[in-house]
Amino acid sequence: MAKIGIKQVAALSGVSIATVSRTLRNPEIVSEKTRQKVNDAVKKAGYKPNKMGSSLRTQESGNIVVIIPDVTDPFNSGIICAIEREAQKLGYSVLLGDTQNDPKRAEQYAEMVEYGQADGILLFSYNLPIDVTPDENGQVNLPPIVNVCESTAYENIHKVMVDDEEGARKATQHLIDLGHKRIAVITGNENTTTNQNRLAGYQKALINAGIELDDRLIMQGNYQIDSGVEQTKKLLLFKDRPTAIFCFCDLMAMGAVKVLHDNGYAVPNDMSVIGFDDIKFAEFTYPAISTVRQPVDEIGKTCMHQLYKLLKDKPAEQYIELKTDLIVRDSTGPAPKG
């Protein structure tokens, strides 16, 4: 049995290949009768139009690539899941671009659109893996791309962001409201914009409450669970220990809680811990982690829609900012007396 192409279907239904193509792509411009014949033949032959053929002709791969540091991070995998669901609805397939924090890999993935392998990019990085030096005409040739969660310095790029500063402010304020005065943070990777914004939110909340900033309470983490462990250990060494720790992601909060337990501290009675993200497991740890929820589904959906608009040459908002929610669970409580 030879492979079924458009030619075979055309022969089977007694029309030209042009008409077969039209029936499949623009049924409304084909007569009812012909349409019927063709559709019957398509079904009978089990014809599946070859994507490479149509892609080459239309100059659209039908793929988008999502460039993201680490699929293994539960926040990221949640986002990817949301993107994929939305992409499918819009008729796109998603290529996975897990950079594993390697800029070279990011560049390779970004090049996929130059190679015609993908039509657009969803970029979760503060680092633009694309050359934006203007050409001789002062023009920058940017592929369809939307920058998500992390913000690139380059301005002329569509962005879907989360109000990290406000989120961090709310988390810190929550601790302040509970009577905490010595509030430590465990940060994410230094250069990320999420980290910088969350740090700003933390500091503003403290200043606003008239609490003096103490740089010793700012511990450098990296959004990974072990850094939550390591930095918390350092914090426990202090003579003037903090009474609360604000971790810039839930994973690090898990690590912090772990260390606290291991060393005989009750959470939240001896020490409060709050995270950021609201990953799926945050409510299932013991104690359930208070956190700042990022609207994962909305982020995924929104950025995919924005990219879709760019791909279809429709007007898209230059900048969209999504809101967070403070989720109070069991890992935060009143500051211990004394």
Partner DNA sequence: CTGAAAGCGCTTACAG
**Per DSSP, which regions of the chain are E strands?**
63-68, 93-98, 120-123, 145-148, 158-162, 183-186, 218-219, 244-247, 272-274, 291-293, 319-322, 325-327
User: Which CA distances in Å does 245 have to 171, 188, 194, 202?
Assistant: 10, 14, 18, 11
CB of 7 or CB of 216, closer to DNA: 7
Q: Taking CB under 7 A as the criterion, which residues in 42-71 touch DNA?
A: 47-50, 52-54, 56-59
Q: Residue count at the site for a copy of itself (CB under 8 A)?
A: 58
Judged by beta carbon distances under 5 to 8 A according to partner kind, the member of a copy of itself, DNA, none in contact with residue 295 is none
Radius of gyration of the chain (CA): 26
Shortest approach of DNA to residue 25 CB, angstroms?
5
Instruction: Select from a copy of itself, DNA, none the partner in contact with residue 17, using the beta carbon and a kind-dependent cut-off of 5 to 8 Å.
Output: DNA
**Dihedral Cα 325, 328, 332, 336, nearest 10 deg:** 110
Nearer to a copy of itself, 163 or 297 (CB): 297
- Non-local (6+) Cβ contacts of 53 within 8 A are 6
- When asked if residue 135 is in the footprint of a copy of itself (CB under 8 A), the reply is yes
Q: Which is nearer to DNA, 15 or 251 (CB)?
A: 15
Applying CB under 8 A, which of residues 11, 18, 90, 96 lies at the interface with a copy of itself? 96
| Contacts (Cβ under 8 Å, ≥6 apart) of 98 | 68, 69, 70, 71, 105
Only one of the segments 114-122, 148-156, 182-190, 241-249 lies at the binding site for a copy of itself (rule: CB under 8 A); that segment is: 114-122
Angstrom distance (rounded) from CA 121 to CA 146 = 6
Kindly tell me which of 42 and 123 has the beta carbon lying closer to DNA: 42
The CA distance from 335 to 307, in Å, is 45
The site map against a copy of itself for 199-238 (x = CB under 8 A) is: --------------------------xx-xx---------
Stretch that binds DNA, among 15-23, 177-185, 227-235, 247-255 (CB under 7 A): 15-23
User: Binding residue for a copy of itself (CB under 8 A) from 261, 266, 317, 323?
Assistant: 261
